[in-house]
Amino acid sequence: MSRLKALGKLGQSIWLDYVQRSLITSGELGRLVEEDGLCGVTSNPTIFEKAIAGSRDYDDELHAILTDNPRAEPRTLYELSAIRDIQMAADVLKSVYDDTGGADGFVSLEVSPHLARDTDATLGEVRRLWRAVARPNVMIKVPATPQGVPAVEALIAEGININITLMFSLRHYEAVAQAYLRGLARSAAPERVASVASFFVSRVDTVVDRELEAIGTPQALALRGQGAIANARLVYRRFREIFYGEAFSRLRRQGAHVQRPLWASTGTKNPAYSDVLYVEGLIGPDTVNTLPPATLDAFREHGQASRATVGESWDEAESRLAELQELGIDLVAVTEKLQTDGVAAFAASYEQLLAALAQKRGALLARSPGGRGLSPGGK
């Protein structure tokens, strides 16, 4: 059995944190579903920036769009290409969606990161993208900012599948889980709605380890690489309390799905650590881990999936975070900054993508006046 499929036997769904047209058209995505038990795909502006601007996969499509409409702006070029990717990936994963009764098999598309601080604009954009993709197994990604959380509640109530992203703390998670519960309570058909709570992992260690190294004591250095998994395990404990407790019991009887924690940012950034650290340490029922391609390949090659680990050592996890606090590391401040920086990073990638598409657009249009007769694949 594939090591990745073994994670499924322990209750964890593996999604791929990557999308590109050739991944779908080559049949590779279908192979991952069939051979490795892949259950979903996530995307973000950084992924699309690399895929669309950094490859020739989309040039024929851009050529066709501009042939029909030479006035099409970079944002239009991006959206048409990205939406087509999401639709194609969702079609590949539809069998997973059907086989799991709508509990899995999702593909995620993110709203513009420039809307992260605007509730009303987020609501409008999510509704528009939901209609444009028109697939039951799509999730629209909304950041867990103070302005994003009320949008999540409203959208869940409307029956739109939401992937809430950029969570870094228990405080972020609590707000998102409660918004999901309130939205389901207002929904006419709660059994038809699905959601995941994307909790970012490795970035916490990146920042905390830097502070520990600055402190430099033996106690501080011994804590490196432990904060992120401890942080995530306590979120999982809270998930179990909420969704296996009284708060969710009535909705469960109505057929509602739990809002699974999704471990994001699980590629190892510190080469001193195992390249599957944030997979092996967070295995458990009712969870998703979305892996970048290199981490997925690494786990397929040498990952260990012998037991559920995310529910282990909750007391020890509390102790690790208490030790960080005793050393003067303010995890609340760290995680709030990580969320702010995450929004900014996605916005920067989005702008880089639009700039690259503007260059491609100009090159394509320059080949023929009026945008006619453009050479396919040209840059």
Q: Could you list the active site residues?
A: 141
How far is 347 from 256, CA to CA, in rounded Å? Answer: 33
Q: Tokens representing 30? A: 């279908």
CA-based radius of gyration for the chain: 21
How far is 148 from 163, CA to CA, in rounded Å? Answer: 11
- CB 66, CB 378: distance < 8 Å: no
DSSP 5-67: HHHHHTTEEEEEE---HHHHHTSHHHHHHHHH---EEE--HHHHIIIIISSSTTHHHHHHHHH
Which residue's structure tokens are 């490859």? 55
Sign of dihedral through CA atoms 171, 177, 181, 186?
positive
- CB 264, CB 200: distance < 8 Å: yes
Q: Is 372 exposed, middle or buried (0-12, 13-18, 19+ CB in 10 A)?
A: exposed
How far is 90 from 46, CA to CA, in rounded Å? Answer: 20
**Strand (E) or helix (H) holding 259:** none
How far is 112 from 44, CA to CA, in rounded Å? Answer: 9
Count Cα neighbours of 32 within 13 Å in the Cβ-side half-sphere: 26
**Strand (E) or helix (H) holding 343:** helix 331-366
How far is 238 from 173, CA to CA, in rounded Å? Answer: 9
